[in-house]
Structure 1
């Protein structure tokens, strides 16, 4: 039982208890990268015999029904013991393909395991990989800083004084500051600055309401 529990969380039982394809097969997977390894199919003869007899019974109108019932009972009685034996062998074979991490206790494949440290690469990351990851992250951080500075410089050149209608008053579509509504074509109210005193004026204003300067 202790052997089975060691692999209780990283395998899938693909076995069939009955039918012509009755047999044992187990699939184990790495708990870090999820790569899989599958045991060879081991036929369960009693289950297969029962399956063939059942097929024959269906062909001959149930004439083999009693024999099918007997074989089916034999197959069911021996299934659990045979399955346990097959699983014990599968676990022993899987140990050659997986390693148990000394820290997180997960089972991982060879490429995910540092044999010298006895740890998986999640618990003890590869130094070269960590260096490369840090370098890439540094490049991203540096690029973001440069982009932020560039965006700041561009923003300083933008005229942020005009008031803009961000939603069309006619159809309620978002305009994002456009001069005309992208949905209905309604002309948005875009304030303009007085050429003399920079007071914000409504479009079409002929004279500045603050200094009286004629607008061109």
Structure 2
């Protein structure tokens, strides 16, 4: 019987089952049930509010929140903010693997600080920290060959250019697309291990583009 369930949801469920020790994902042979009991209990941690959320769910939350932060930042950004972002980019390009590095984190925090609202910067940092310690996110990254992933300096350049122009629309779209690219990369890098192609139904389309196009077309 066919179920109307996205493969993205299935993928996150498999990751959660793997973390708990119920299944193993073996490259070339599929998904194997190895136990009907959890291998170990995850200890509760009051500092890990997002510990039970799937990696793609966290990415979607970041995409929704940070794209709006970038939009607002473009209306508030100062020359000092731009100089700090340029310095971060310069340092980042000196690293062989920029993705998920400290400079990657600092760039996103600095964009949020450009709103002149420190609470927004704290939210961005919290989401990043929670993600990096999330057991499901870490399990997902075990299926990724770090040598094949892209760094995001070019994506960050597009965000920075929009902020320099003080263009809220472009800044929002650039941040949205940056995190969209991250999701696509994760889908592509894990598809072989999970033995099905990525379902882009939930994530491939950019509703911000569609909404903005519809709005501009009605004017």
Rg larger in structure = 1
TM-score (norm 2): 0.22
Structure with greater proportional helix content: 2
